[in-house]
Amino acid sequence: MFRETRTRIILAIMTVAILLLAATLGTVYVSSYNSLKKENMEMLKRYVEIYSLEALPGENIPAPPEGRADPEGNLFDLSSFYSVAISDDGEILAVDTGRNGSYTKEDIIALSESIPRVWSGTGTHSHYIFCVEHRDGYVLKAFMDIALTQNSMGKVLINAVIAGVIAVCALFFVALFFAHMIVRPLEENDIKQKQFVSDAGHELKTPISVISANAELLARQTGDNEWLNNIQYENERMGNLVRELLDLSRAENKTVPFENVDLSKLTQQEVLPFESIAFENGLMIETHIEEGVTVKGNRGQLGQLISILTDNAISHTDAQRSTSSDVVSDLTVNIRLKKDHRHAILSVKNMGEAIPEDVRERLFDRFYKTDEAREDNGGHYGLGLSIAKAIVTAHKGTINVECPDGFIVFCVRLPIER
């Protein structure tokens, strides 16, 4: 239980941390990329603004108009710009191949042709940003190569992801530490509770035995009377409760020896004594037990598990509904055992009113009883299913309850090989 709680705490911390980290890195990357893109676009617009057909290709770009500052400084002078001036008749008037001569005229013209002449404004094409401006008598298509910017941002992203992975790994150990710190008081409290139940159960056994012996002696001397019968009845109930508490304590705390257990034979043996009890309640027990189903576990605990589920089915079968339905199968407690791959599946089925989903989740809690699911029938205290759950957990199995078509089915899955 506490292992699952620790796992959930770690998952919650890691999920929140990863989402925050991803959101932070994503925001920083996108904002930085957009900032650089905006800066490059501003420089391209400056190039377009100061462009002149008289400037020779590759020559220094004329200085900004008088009175205008150059906020980018040398960055503008170091950037590579390309342009094509096209007359209204489609004639190429001028081609600027940039300073570094990396592209030929044909390359720049081919690049310009990928942008329609009717286009006006700015945009992005491959690893270029472009600006198209319609002037008197011609159209100017200017480009700026941002491959270096994209490459740099790609490296920044890779480094950010690496740093994020390292941060997440470090955070995992931090989350692990805090999960242990959070769960430790709960574990200690649970251990104390279980120890108290065990100690109290052992301490109560002696006075219960004394009360029972004294009540029997008084009954021999005075004969039967109402008050002694009540004392014996309540003392017997108290004894059953203490016994169940001790069974629960042993199932949860005590490490018992495991051995190969023939679950098929054990199920037949444990179910047999309940046939007379079922008959007294107007029920029948029907078994479908596959032969040779063997698991590794504790024979005593597994026998107790089968007994608890069988007794629970008999005690909580809705006999009134079964009789009114006039269907013989409704008066039957059906017990099945089969082998499914590497698991032994034990199911106990009886007729009863469907258990609500929220109740099913708490059905295996100690002392949990509801009118719908656990009526006080035959001196049950709400510990039987808790003991069954503890036994199944100790055997690395699972137990759940389903309610198909007016029936209640408890299903246990136990690993055959571990």
Whole-structure pTM value: 0.54
Write out the residue range of the structural domain in which residue 207 sits: 177-253
Whether 391 is covered by a domain: the verdict is: yes
Q: Give the pLDDT band of residue 262 (cuts 50, 70, 90).
A: very high
Residues 143, 94 share a domain: yes
Whether 163 is covered by a domain: the verdict is: no
Q: Of 232, 253, 274, which residue is a domain's last?
A: 253
List of residues 6+ apart from 62 with CB closer than 8 A: 50, 52, 55
Residue 320 has pLDDT above 70, yes or no: no
Residues 355, 274 share a domain: yes
Extract the tokens encoding 380. Answer: 């049950």
Question: Could you report the per-residue pLDDT of 329-388, keeping only the tens digit for each?
Answer: 458 899 999 998 889 999 999 888 888 887 777 787 776 665 544 444 455 556 778 888
Least confident segment among 15-19, 253-257, 380-384: 380-384
Question: Could you report the per-residue pLDDT of 134-182, keeping only the tens digit for each?
Answer: 888 888 888 888 887 788 888 888 888 888 889 888 988 988 888 888 8
125 touches 139 (CB < 8 A): no
- The domain that holds 190 is classified in CATH as 1.10.287.130
Residue 27 has pLDDT above 80, yes or no: yes
- With pLDDT > 70 as the criterion, what percentage of the chain qualifies? 81
Whether 233 is covered by a domain: the verdict is: yes
Residues 266, 409 share a domain: yes
Extract the tokens encoding 362. Answer: 């708490």
Question: Could you report the per-residue pLDDT of 181-224, keeping only the tens digit for each?
Answer: 888 887 777 777 767 766 676 777 778 788 888 888 888 888 77
Residues 274, 307 share a domain: yes
- The domain that holds 362 is classified in CATH as 3.30.565.10
Whether 89 is covered by a domain: the verdict is: yes
Task: Specify the pLDDT at position 148.
Answer: 79
Task: Specify the pLDDT at position 70.
Answer: 45
